Amino acid sequence: MEFETTEEQRLLLETVNKFMDRRLPPAEVRRRDEAQEPPYDLLPLMGEIGILGLVVPERYGGSGMDWTTLALVQERLGQKAYMAASIFNRVVGFGIMSLLTYGSEAQKEEMLPQLVAGRLLIALALSEPEAGSDAAALRTRAVQAEGGWRISGRKTWISDAGGANYLLTPVRTDPNSKGSAGISLFLIPPATPGIAMTTLPKVGNHCMPSFDIGFDEVFVPHTAMIGQQGRGFAHMMPTLHFSRASMAATVTGCAQAAVDCAIAYARERRQFGRSISSFQVISHRLVDMQMRVDAARLMVRYLAWLLSTKRPCRREAAQAKVMATECLQFVTDHGIQIMASAGYSTDSDMQRFWRDGRLYSFGEGTNEIQRNIIARELGLLKPFPDM
Confirm whether 364 is a catalytic residue: yes
Compute CA 318 distance to the chain's CA centroid, rounded to the nearest angstrom.
13
Provide CB contacts within 8 A for 345, sequence distance 6+.
351
Domains in the chain, please, with CATH? 7-120 (1.10.540.10), 124-229 (2.40.110.10), 234-377 (1.20.140.10)
- The whole-number pLDDT of residue 121 equals 97
User: Cα separation of 174 and 70, whole Å?
Assistant: 37
Question: What pLDDT is recorded for position 385?
Answer: 56
C-beta separation of 12 from 66 below 8 A: no
Written as one string, the DSSP assignment of 312-327 is: --HHHHHHHHHHHHHH
The values of phi and psi at residue 4, to 5°, are -75, 130
Burial of 128 (0-12, 13-18, 19+ CB in 10 A): buried
CB contact at 8 A, 168 and 94: yes
Torsion of CA 88, 208, 291, 321, to 10 degrees: -70
Cα gap 98→370, rounded to integer Å: 20
Q: Are 258 and 324 within 8 A, CB to CB? A: no
The pLDDT value recorded for residue 365 is 87
Alpha-carbon torsion (45, 202, 70, 328), positive or negative: positive
Q: Which of 128, 316, 326, 364 is catalytic?
A: 364
pLDDT along the chain (387 residues), means of 10: 90 97 96 96 97 97 96 98 96 96 96 98 94 81 96 97 96 90 96 97 96 98 96 90 95 98 96 95 98 98 95 94 98 97 95 96 92 94 65
Q: How far apart are CA 72 and CA 55, in angstroms?
A: 12
How high is the pLDDT of residue 180?
85
CA–centroid distance for 77 within its chain: 12
d(CA 212, CA 128): 9
Q: Which pLDDT value is given to residue 386?
A: 45
Helix (H) or strand (E) holding 194: none
- 95: which DSSP letter? I
* Contact call for residues 239 and 97 (beta carbons, < 8 A): yes
As a residue count, the chain comes to 387
- Residue ranges of alpha helices (H) inside 52-148 are 67-80, 82-89, 98-102, 105-116
